[in-house]
Amino acid sequence: MTDAASATRIVHRPEDGRRIAYEVLGPAHGFPVFLLHGTPGSRLGPRPRGIVLHRLGIQLITYDRPGYGESERVQGRDVAHAAQDVRAIADELDLDRFSVVGRSGGGPHALACAADGNLRDRLIRVAVLVSLAPAGAPGWYEGMNGDNHKQFGNAVTDPAELESEIRRRASGIDVDPDFLLGLLTDQMTTADHRVVSDAALRRQLRLSYRDAIKNGPYGWIDDVLALRRDWKVDLGAITTPVRVWHGGEDTFAPATHSRYLADMIGKTAELDVRPGAAHFDAMPELPRTLRWLAARPALATR
């Protein structure tokens, strides 16, 4: 089998002509799945190796949300805007049917695709791993580590202070790619430490963080602000099968977030809270999720 080209490609959003950078990996005729990166992150974020994608028969599509990496900023964007980006790339690749998975901060953006009236009929399945819930959901801060509590609290009470702190962190990454991992390590559970001790995964995280802020911290800033505002996403409008996965020991985005999402989505949601797992366990969970997203029985039912 031959791989689809993995070099960075560019498409322009029809809504405003702004540039979106994306990559396509895996077998050229594999089942297409969009992977939406975390916050912060980029199209280069952790993903399965090519040999795994071949074995699964997955053509994986990753892209930089606006303001990250090579994608042009869309200031003031809402979470719902992600559906426009995915639709633009899918149209460019001439994809009729596909699935979407979002990890961490990418989870809400994957749900935006599932709820979008112009996109949801093209989706086979959607998965969200360790996703945040909308701001104001019951128990939103319960079990959350101090750093995330402070950062997301600032997004509501003092956006200027939030932006200053993100700029400081982005400058730290620019000087030392391990800077953010060092900050995160201090907040990790034992389960998370176990996952990120893998040298290959750490290299992927460093590369993703460095690429995310290469043209400034704007994607990171806009992501956090969008996640704390009204998402403009109607979770009750989702009719696509959705797998909602969470580590039971997660302190970055506690499992109460996924329980809320599953309740709001309703009967099409499948909730899996894994005991003993935490936030970064979403990365080794991804291959199993990709297998579910490409399950051929789903094709026959649509």
Mind listing the pLDDT tens digit for each residue in 101-152?
999 999 999 999 999 999 999 999 999 999 999 988 999 999 999 888 877 6
Treating both helix axes as pointing N-terminal to C-terminal, what angle do 106-115 and 256-265 enclose, rounded to 10 degrees?
A: 0
Average pLDDT on 161-187 reads: 92
**Sign of the C-alpha dihedral computed for residues 221, 222, 223 and 227 taken in this order:** positive
Where does 9-301 sit in CATH, by number? 3.40.50.1820
- CA–CA separation, 242 and 101 (whole Å): 9
| Residue pointed to by tokens 């899996």 | 272
- CA–CA separation, 184 and 65 (whole Å): 22
Integer Rg of the chain from CA:
18
Residue 153: predicted pLDDT: 58
Average pLDDT on 239-260 reads: 97
Average pLDDT on 58-81 reads: 97
Which of the pair, 239 or 158, is modelled with greater confidence? 239
Q: Is the pLDDT of residue 156 over 70?
A: no
Residues whose CB is less than 8 angstroms from the CB of residue 199 and which lie 6 or more positions away in sequence, other chains included: none
Q: Is the pLDDT of residue 272 over 70?
A: yes
* Reported confidence tier of residue 301, pLDDT bands at 50, 70, 90: very low
Structure tokens at 142: 């319960």
Lowest mean pLDDT among 192-206, 235-249, 258-272, 284-298: 284-298
Residue 149: predicted pLDDT: 80
Average pLDDT of every residue of the chain = 92
Residue 160: predicted pLDDT: 85
Residue 6: predicted pLDDT: 66
Residue 70: predicted pLDDT: 97
